[in-house]
Chain A
C-alpha cells in the first residue's frame, strides 16, 4: 500500500471515529483502542516560548487513562445517572489537518487537529480545540490506537465531559 493510500485509510478511520463519538456509539468507539492504550491529555502551562515540557515526568493531565479507565467512563455514561452529561449534550467532532507522520509495517503515527462543539441546556455552549497524536498498530488485521496524546489549546478548561 502506498503512503498516500495509507494516509487516506487513516483519514477514513478518524472520520469514522468522530462519527461514532457524535452518535453515542461509545462501545464501538472503545473497540478502536488497543487493550494496552494510553489516552492522555497533559495540562498546559504559560511559560516562555519553547519552555513548555508536555512530557515532563508526573505532569498533571486532564486525562491519563488506560483501557479500564476509558471503559469505566463509558459504563458510567450508560448508567443514565452521570448528571454532567444527562440529559446528554449535543456534541460534534470536526477532524482536520490529518498527517501521516510515520509508517512502518504494522505501526503508524498520525497527527490530526480537532474542534469539538458541545451544546446543552440552552445556554451552555463550549468549544474545545486541540490536536492529537495517535500511535496506531495493526493487531489481527485491524488498526488500533495504542497511544493517543491529546494536546488541548486551553490553559483553563470547562467541565470536561467530552471525549476526544
Chain B
C-alpha cells in the first residue's frame, strides 16, 4: 500500500522515488492531478476559423479541440458514445461533422449527435439523441492565446489558477500587439522517463545546464556558470510562484543578428515590449525564459522563438512529448525562418540541447525504482530558506541555482494527491 502522505516530505524537502516509478501512484495521479487541473490543449492561432480542429491529449484522454460554428472553443473527448471508437482520426483540419467510422454515429462541431444510421428501422426512433452528444471538458478558458481545459467543473478560473505566473508569462506572451503564431506541424517523440522529471526541469532547474549540456559549454555556446554580485537577483534567477508553477529567467543575450534587417526587427520588438510591459517586467526583456505551468505544460523562449510543449504521461516510466514552435505574428519572413531553424537545431527531438535532457530522464527512472533504491528519497534541498520577496516581482525569487521552485511543484502535486479524492469514481 502506498503511504500517500510520505511521498513528499515537506520538512526535509525530499521526494520518494515512488513518485516517479510506481504504477499505483501513476494511476491515482491521472485522476487526482490530471482530473483537477487546467491542462493546455491548443493555441488560438491553430483554430482561426469555425470548424477548425486539432487533436491532442489531456493526460491519457484523447481530445479534439474545435472552434464551433458560434466561435466558441470546445474540447471533446475523442470517443464515440456508442462503442468508444475514435471519432476524429486525423491530426488537424476543418469540418462540420465528426463521423464515427465504426457504425456511423455523427456529431456536429457543437458535439450534438445529429446522425444515427437506421434511426427509424433499428432504433424505432426512440434513441434520445440529445442525451448522447460527445463528452466534453466542462471548462475551457484561454490566457493570451493559450487555450486550457479542465475536467473539473468546479475548478477555479484559469486566471486564478495561473496566479502569480501570469506576471512572468506576460513577459513572453505580451511582448507585441500581434502575439505569437503557431507554426504548422508538431514535434512528437517518446522518451523513457516520468513526465514530472521534464516538467520540473523546465519549471525550475537551471542547475543541470552546465553538466547535462556540457558539450554545448565546451563548444562555447553555453555561458559559463552563474554570475556574481547582485546581478543574479536582478536578471538571472528562478521563481517559485503560487499553485506550483515555476519560472526561470536567464540573462542570456539574444544571439547576434545575422542580417541588419533581423537586428532592426529584434530592436523594434524589444522597444515595443518595454513599452507594453510594466517597468519591472521590461527590465527582463532580452533574457531567455523557461517555465512550467502546473502540471505538464512548459514554455521556452530563446533566440527569438517560443516553444510550448506538453509532457504527456504514458505510464510511470514513459512520456510522449508534443512540442509546438511559435514565431512572432508580425515577424518578417526572414526573421520567422531563422527562429524556426534555431528552434529545430536546439530544442526539437534532434536538438543539440534537447537530446541531452531526454537521456537523463530515462536513466533516472531506470535506476531509482529498485526495491532497495526506492527506500531512499531524492534531495530537493538546494536553496531552501534562502528565497527572497522582491517588492516589484511576484513569487519567491532566488538566483541560480535553487530547488525551491521545483519543490513547490511537488508540494502542489502532493496536495492534489492527498486531498479528499473529490469526484473519484
Chain B residue, CB-CB nearest to A69: B345
Chain B, interface SS category: mixed
The proximity string for B residues 179-193 relative to A, scoring 1 for CB distances below 8 Å and 0 otherwise, is 000011111111110
**A142 contacts partner chain B, Cβ-Cβ < 8 Å:** no
Chain A binder among B31-39, B43-51, B333-341: B333-341
Partner of A60, one of B215, B344, B362: B344
CA–CA, A66 and B343, complex, Å: 14
The answer to whether B344 touches A61 (Cβ under 8 A) is yes
The answer to whether A62 touches B345 (Cβ under 8 A) is no
The answer to whether B90 touches A46 (Cβ under 8 A) is yes
Chain A residue, CB-CB nearest to B327: A58
CA–CA, A61 and B90, complex, Å: 19
Which chain B residues border A90 with CB–CB below 8 Å? Answer: none
Chain A residue, CB-CB nearest to B339: A58
CA–CA, A158 and B189, complex, Å: 5
The answer to whether A156 touches B337 (Cβ under 8 A) is no
**A103 contacts partner chain B, Cβ-Cβ < 8 Å:** no
The answer to whether B190 touches A60 (Cβ under 8 A) is no
Query: Smallest Cβ distance from B212 to chain A, in angstroms?
Result: 7
The answer to whether B185 touches A64 (Cβ under 8 A) is no
Chain A residue, CB-CB nearest to B354: A159
- Residue among B90, B216, B355 with most chain A CB within 10 A: B355
Query: Smallest Cβ distance from B259 to chain A, in angstroms?
Result: 15
CA–CA, A62 and B51, complex, Å: 29
The answer to whether A159 touches B214 (Cβ under 8 A) is no
Which chain A residues border B350 with CB–CB below 8 Å? Answer: 62-63, 160-161
The answer to whether B360 touches A81 (Cβ under 8 A) is no
The proximity string for B residues 6-31 relative to A, scoring 1 for CB distances below 8 Å and 0 otherwise, is 00000000000000000000000000
Query: Smallest Cβ distance from A59 to chain B, in angstroms?
Result: 5
Which chain A residues border B92 with CB–CB below 8 Å? Answer: 45, 47
Chain A residue, CB-CB nearest to B185: A60
The proximity string for B residues 344-377 relative to A, scoring 1 for CB distances below 8 Å and 0 otherwise, is 1100111010011011101000100000000000
**A155 contacts partner chain B, Cβ-Cβ < 8 Å:** yes
Partner of B352, one of A42, A60, A76, A124: A76
**B231 contacts partner chain A, Cβ-Cβ < 8 Å:** no
The answer to whether A43 touches B187 (Cβ under 8 A) is yes
Query: Smallest Cβ distance from A66 to chain B, in angstroms?
Result: 8
The answer to whether A46 touches B91 (Cβ under 8 A) is yes
The answer to whether B91 touches A83 (Cβ under 8 A) is no
The answer to whether A47 touches B184 (Cβ under 8 A) is no
Query: Smallest Cβ distance from B397 to chain A, in angstroms?
Result: 31
Chain A residue, CB-CB nearest to B221: A72
Q: A58-B340, A73-B352, A76-B219 are in contact. Are A81 and B191 (CB under 8 A)?
A: no
Chain A residue, CB-CB nearest to B184: A59
**A139 contacts partner chain B, Cβ-Cβ < 8 Å:** no
**A79 contacts partner chain B, Cβ-Cβ < 8 Å:** yes
The proximity string for A residues 146-163 relative to B, scoring 1 for CB distances below 8 Å and 0 otherwise, is 000000000111111100
The answer to whether A76 touches B215 (Cβ under 8 A) is yes
Q: A47-B91, A84-B356, A157-B189 are in contact. Are A58 and B214 (CB under 8 A)?
A: no
**A36 contacts partner chain B, Cβ-Cβ < 8 Å:** no
Residues of A within 8 A of B (CB): 42-43, 45-48, 56, 58-65, 69, 72-73, 75-77, 79-85, 123-124, 155-161
Some 21 contacts from A to B, beta carbons below 8 A apart, are A42-B185, A45-B92, A47-B91, A56-B184, A58-B336, A58-B340, A60-B186, A62-B344, A72-B219, A72-B345, A79-B218, A81-B215, A83-B212, A83-B215, A84-B359, A85-B355, A156-B188, A156-B189, A156-B320, A159-B191, A159-B355
